[in-house]
Amino acid sequence: MNKYFVTLLIAVFILFSCKKENQSTSILTKENISGYVQKGPFINGTSISINELNTNLSQTGKVYNTQVVDNKGSFNFGNVELKSNYVSLRADGFYFNEISGEQSKSQITLYALSDVSNKSSVNINLLTHLEKARIEYLISEGIDFQDAKKQALSEIIKIFSINEATETTSETLDIAKKGDDNGKLLAISLILQGYRSEGELTELLSNISTDIREDGILDNKTLGSELINHTVYLNLNSIRENLEKRFSDLGVNAEVPDFEKYINAFIENSTFDITASLIEYPSLGENGKNILDLNELIYGDAEFSLAANLHQGTKLKIKITSLGTKDFFMQPFTVKNWTMSVYNETTKSQYFTAIDSDKNCDLLMVFDSGDFLIEYFEMGALEPNRTKIIRSK
């Protein structure tokens, strides 16, 4: 064996050894990757998967699976080995609906994209889900991953009239902790949920994701109106109580963030038009002119309908008070989806409460000639959302 050939063999061995060493050091080992899945908190048994992605955010084929292990939405992956820093997480499960105060009736799916090179905690929420398609598009346009994440999040929160910068990434946010950024997440989650079914929420998220994918702007005004239409009916006190009770029942020492200011800012500053009411008061009911019609104050007949059409998840209570010596009466055999309090002889008033949402209410009412105060308590409000004084001739 000549000296040249020996030298060549040594060089090949050294090159192969270096290549092998470089390959081994390229493995990213994470002892744990943990986090929370939150809409409200997802419940025990929610399926979680983590997919390794390449630099183009395409799946490499490596997948790890686990489940949420409690009703706080917490999960943990142990001993994760990756050749890439980038991962996609997916959660499929039921969740606590903080607006209704009940568990969701159906499952939803949420996603998150993250660079886990310097983190071992990744939360999955509506912001991580909404930004996914936008990030993927920005990456395809040559934008760096971190810059794409930052840009997508900034664009999304502006849709909800939040113009102040968010100091962290979406996957670090937590609705069980105080702080403005956590308040933004909770507010946006509530606006998106509204009084929608899980199917309606999933459709809305998909439509918004598609709309903002290429320019980061919600151009579809119909989608924007869907957001504001529901937001104006949110009962913020009830939502806070529902969340605080839920966390307390779970033994979680939570500090629900100040989400209210972001909800109110969206209502005040949004450019989206309110195009529909979740509680409708038609001009005519099954028994004649509707005494609840917001546009009518003078009634010439004696018999009227007490009519309202309720969207899913809505609540309504009506109080009628005689402002003089005259009185009003009802015909119990005509009642439809109302329950009535006992008539108060002292205050000359009576309450009418809708039994079920997603149904119509009606009742035949008879009024003497006189003036009457109508008070509307919508969505469980303790004070009337609106009032009017009617005159029956």
Which amino acid is residue 87, in one-letter code?
V
List of residues 6+ apart from 209 with CB closer than 8 A? 129, 130, 132, 133, 134
pTM of structure: 0.86
Q: Are 243 and 256 in contact (CB under 8 A)?
A: yes
CB 18 within 8 A of CB 74: no
DSSP string, 179-247: SHHHHHHHHHHHHHHTT--HHHHHHHHHHHHHHHTTTSS---HHHHHHHHHHHTT--HHHHHHHHHHHH
Q: Write out the chain's pLDDT in tens, 393 residues.
A: 555 544 544 444 444 444 443 334 478 888 899 999 999 999 999 999 999 999 999 999 999 999 999 999 999 999 999 999 999 999 999 999 999 999 999 999 999 999 999 999 999 999 999 999 999 999 999 999 999 999 999 999 999 999 988 889 999 999 999 999 999 999 999 999 999 999 999 999 999 999 999 999 999 999 999 999 999 999 999 999 999 999 999 999 999 999 999 999 999 999 999 999 999 999 999 999 999 999 999 998 789 999 999 998 899 999 999 999 889 999 999 999 999 999 999 999 999 999 999 899 999 999 999 999 999 999 888 899 999 999 998
Do the beta carbons of residue 81 and residue 111 sit within 8 Å?
Answer: no
Quick one: pLDDT at residue 3?
54
C-alpha pair distances (Å), 248 with each of 111, 239, 241, 251, 374: 27, 14, 10, 5, 38
* Alpha carbons 92 and 107: distance in angstroms, whole number: 6
Contacts of 163 (CB under 8 A, 6+ apart): none
